[in-house]
Amino acid sequence: MLSLDLQSRIPIFEQIKAGLSRLIYLGILKSDEQLPTVRSLATQLGVNPNTVQKAYQQLEAAGLIYSVTGRGNFVRSGNSQQVIQNEQIQKRLKEIAQEAKNAGFPESMAILLIREVYNG
Amino acid sequence: MLSLDLQSRIPIFEQIKAGLSRLIYLGILKSDEQLPTVRSLATQLGVNPNTVQKAYQQLEAAGLIYSVTGRGNFVRSGNSQQVIQNEQIQKRLKEIAQEAKNAGFPESMAILLIREVYNG
DNA sequence: TATTTGTACTATGCTGAGTAGTACAATTAT
DNA sequence: ATAATTGTACTACTCAGCATAGTACAAATA
């Protein structure tokens, strides 16, 4: 369901967040569909349950999922409108990223540019 | 000359690397032009000289600059060919990033996509 | 000769990430 | 009813990376 890069400098809980966000935005995880339980996903990924919970908490704070004690975590409805548009953006981002890579454009600079645009 | 974001999760020495790389790739720093000395840049940025030296070391390892003990650090020649091409890539990256931001596309996902393309 | 510069160390503190363990309320299954 | 599952909330601990502080030395320059 998800894959992690434990060598990456990106924290595990961030990778989980990004991975689940991606599945939700792509519509692979549908509205009100149940996510893996905290403990099961932790076991599956080989990480600590607290790490998974941290990701789930922040996804809930971001409005992407909702939690019910005793039942589990579920996808919040209302994200499907953006799916098509986001697919286009993903496609174009990948294209330009590939081109940049081929041109020897440094990865660190590409990421820096993204951050600059997003954060003023 | 450079600006830092001390609140960022990106290490200072990485920001220095990216900033100087950018100036070199853009041709603002020309071949064989002298960079600020380790100590002066450290003072100017308000960081420890060791931090600046770390950035310079890695820039030298990357082939972007060269160091001469007792004289200073200088821009290595041979990067000008890529300048024009990289300007185009930067421009397009900024455009698509801005579009993504406006569409509510998460910054974390944009960066993740970049990383995926670069690192398989 | 004195100063500047790059370089190389060691030591220290700090922060965030991740892990380990426990506990409890709500829900579900038996 | 009872037990098991699940989300949640803690505390404590370890670890790695980053950054700082300080010192020292060789090479180049003033």
Distance B94 CA to C5 C1' (A): 38
3-state helix, strand, coil in chain A (%, to 5): 60, 10, 35
Contact of A12 with A52, CB cutoff 8 Å: no
Burial zone of A23 (CB within 10 Å; 0-12 exposed, 13-18 middle, 19+ buried): middle
Nucleotides of D under 7 A from a protein CB: 4-11, 17-22, 26-29
Coil/strand/helix, residue A68? strand
Nearest CA to CA, how far is B18 from chain A (Å)? 6
Q: If you average pLDDT over residues B35-43, what whole number do you get?
A: 97
Q: Which pLDDT value is given to residue B50?
A: 97
Q: Rounded to whole angstroms, how far apart are CA atoms B35 and A63?
A: 47
Q: Rounded to whole angstroms, how far apart are CA atoms A117 and A115?
A: 5
- The pLDDT-based confidence of B79 (bands split at 50, 70, 90) is low
| pLDDT digit string, tens, across residues A14-24 | 889 988 988 88
Q: If you average pLDDT over residues B19-45, what whole number do you get?
A: 91
| pLDDT digit string, tens, across residues B95-118 | 898 888 877 787 878 888 888 787
